[in-house]
Amino acid sequence: MLKPIPPAIMTLYSDLLQQVETAAQGGALYRRVRDGIEYLYAKTPVGATRVDVFLGRSDDPAARERADSFVAGAAAARSRREIVRVLRRSGFASPSAEAGRLMHALAAADLFERGAVLVGTGAYQLLEASVGSFLPSATLMTGDLDIAAATVAIQADPPEPILAILRRADPSFTDVPQLDHRALPFRFRASSGFLVDLLTPLRTRDDENPVVLSGLEAGAFPAQYLAWLIHGSIRAVALWAAGVPVLVPRPERYAVHKLILSQRRAHGHDKRRKDLAQAGALIAALQSNDPFALEDALEDARAQGAEGWAKPIARSLAELGLDL
């Protein structure tokens, strides 16, 4: 049996999610003098580093107003960090420090605002509030982060390569070379072994592989079923630092997606077992808290076709001992 999340803790999570979505950027102010003129700057945390933000001349009212906003944003971040600590102590899953820094760097580059969706176990960890139950700890472990680019036009704001963004979380990140040395990389690895994969929905069998994400100077692996998975994605907050706003799949779609993926031959035994365990945990939570959402997702997936959809779903449900 999964442990339900107490209503007071759910309310606290909802408050945090609302706060991070509207939070002003915060940072520590400092001044520099050039040619006898004083300028204002803010140093704001991003991932594992701090980024300098130019605010303007110290005698410019607009620059002083921006400075006040950064000071207020820093104070609000301190308050949110305490909420994050309370939620973590209550039992909510939280990303590892490495994953948290990566999510923070990606969010700071506005990628989640511009069409990026966190998928894989990194997203699964953040679905507890959506299903109203704490998920089994054995299903939460991961050493990678999968990012779906819902559109090939995705780019950071301001535009910059994905590798520069990842290196704000860990300077050791490098791209993993492809068999075709001319192809843009879609996989990136830190010296710790932590992996980041860029994915994009498979549109046709003739899609180039990897698909070019020119706005990030990277490629993306075209994945079947991904378009269905990320349709109608929802907001969530990663419990790291002052809370990181991200976009994740709906839990009912994540569960059904894992039912399908667990039957694919390319998946090894451990991966298959983990897929089924994650699907089973989400299904159990949804049956208690939102059974109609699960029913609708199953119906929609089965309607996509028999061979690649309905049959693998049926096989996985049978393995889980479920009749849905």
pLDDT at 183: 86
Mean pLDDT of the 231-237 span: 97
Average pLDDT value for residue range 96-100 = 96
Task: Kindly state the average pLDDT of the residues 32-45.
Answer: 95
Task: Quote the pLDDT of residue 55.
Answer: 96
What's the average model confidence in pLDDT over 127-148?
95
State mean pLDDT over 297-320.
96
**So what's the pLDDT on residue 265?**
64
Residue 264 confidence (pLDDT): 84
**Long-range interactions of 295-301: CB distance < 8 A, separation 24+:** 295/324, 296/252, 297/250, 297/252, 297/253, 297/255, 297/256, 298/256, 298/324, 300/228, 301/228, 301/256, 301/260
Rounded percentage of the chain residues whose pLDDT exceeds 90:
89
Contact between residue 245 and residue 237 where contact means Cβ atoms under 8 Å apart: yes
- Dihedral sign (CA 196, 198, 201, 204): negative
Residue 268: pLDDT over 80: no
Read off the pLDDT band of 222 (50, 70, 90).
very high
User: Tokens 């630092």, residue?
Assistant: 241
The pLDDT tens digits for 48-82 are 999 999 999 999 999 999 999 999 999 999 999 99
pLDDT score, position 283: 98
Q: Average pLDDT of 292-320?
A: 97
Find where tokens 């449900």 sit.
317
Per-residue pLDDT at 204: 74
Q: Provide the pLDDT confidence category of residue 47 given band limits of 50, 70 and 90.
A: very high
Residue 266 pLDDT class (50, 70, 90 cuts): low
| SS3 track for 269-303 | HHHHHHHHHHHHHHHHHHHHHCHHHHHHHHHHHHC
pTM of model > 0.75 = yes
pLDDT tens for each residue of 100-115? 999 999 999 999 999 9
Which pLDDT tens digit goes with each residue over 156-208? 988 999 999 999 999 999 999 887 778 899 999 999 999 999 999 998 777 77
pLDDT grade, residue 267 (50/70/90)? low
**Domain-wise residue ranges, the chain:** 7-90, 250-324
Per-residue CA distances from 128 to 9, 204, 239, 268, 283 (Å): 12, 34, 12, 26, 12
